[in-house]
Structure 1
Amino acid sequence: MQTRDEIFNTLRDALVELFELDAERVTMDANLYQDLEIDSIDAVDLIDHIKRQTGKKIAAEDFKAVRTVGDVVDAVHRMVAPA
């Protein structure tokens, strides 16, 4: 199972690669929409990337509650945690 730190590092790398962000801007507290300027289309791309990495899809309803990078880390951590 991945730790929150491992998930964060993978997510940060994905955000840098997919959206050409500076890695320093991607922090646990960074707001996806305001701080990182990710729009709804970008969010779909991010969900798709997470699905390819984990083999599991975050439900769109779950992603609506996500605001920060930390929220995404928590959602992925819950998704990959053993039941």
Structure 2
Amino acid sequence: MTDEELIKRINSALAEEFELELDEMVPEAVFKDDLDLDSLDAVDMVIVLEQEFGIKIKKDEAFKAIRTLGDLHKFILSKKDEAA
């Protein structure tokens, strides 16, 4: 899977879970300000991403620093690279 395909998969999973429009899913979108997602949504996001990609996120300190969709893309891409 290419990085671009992975990013599309992330965006689709989140758009479906949180009822967001795909055109809102831009790298600079801030979860709280632009996508109206709060800390409780972050818990759901972890579950969705863990199930979608078969990775463990919960105990990863780097996840706490994610503020934008682009940050999330980089985080998931780095997980893919670690697994390779």
Fold conserved between structures, TM > 0.5: yes
> 1:77 matched to which residue of 2?
77
Q: Partners of 2:76 and 2:21 in 1: how far apart?
A: 22
Per-residue deviation, 1:4 = 2.5
RMSD: 1.5
Q: Partners of 1:3 and 1:42 in 2: how far apart?
A: 27
**Counterpart mapping for 1:45-64 below 5 A:** 45-58=44-57, 59-64=59-64
The percent of aligned pairs where both chains have the same amino acid is: 35
Q: Partners of 1:19 and 1:50 in 2: how far apart?
A: 13
| Runs (5+) with no aligned partner, structure 2 | none
| Runs (5+) with no aligned partner, structure 1 | none
Superposition TM-score, scaled by structure 1 size: 0.86
Counterpart AA for 1:56: I
Counterpart AA for 1:51: E
> 2:65 matched to which residue of 1?
65
Q: Which aligned segments of 4 or more residues in structure 1 are displaced greater than 3 angstroms?
A: none
> 1:15 matched to which residue of 2?
14
The structure showing larger relative contact order (alpha-carbon pairs under 8 Å, at least 6 residues apart) is: 1
8 A contact 1:4–1:74 mirrored in 2:
no
Superposition TM-score, scaled by structure 2 size: 0.86
Aligned residues: 82
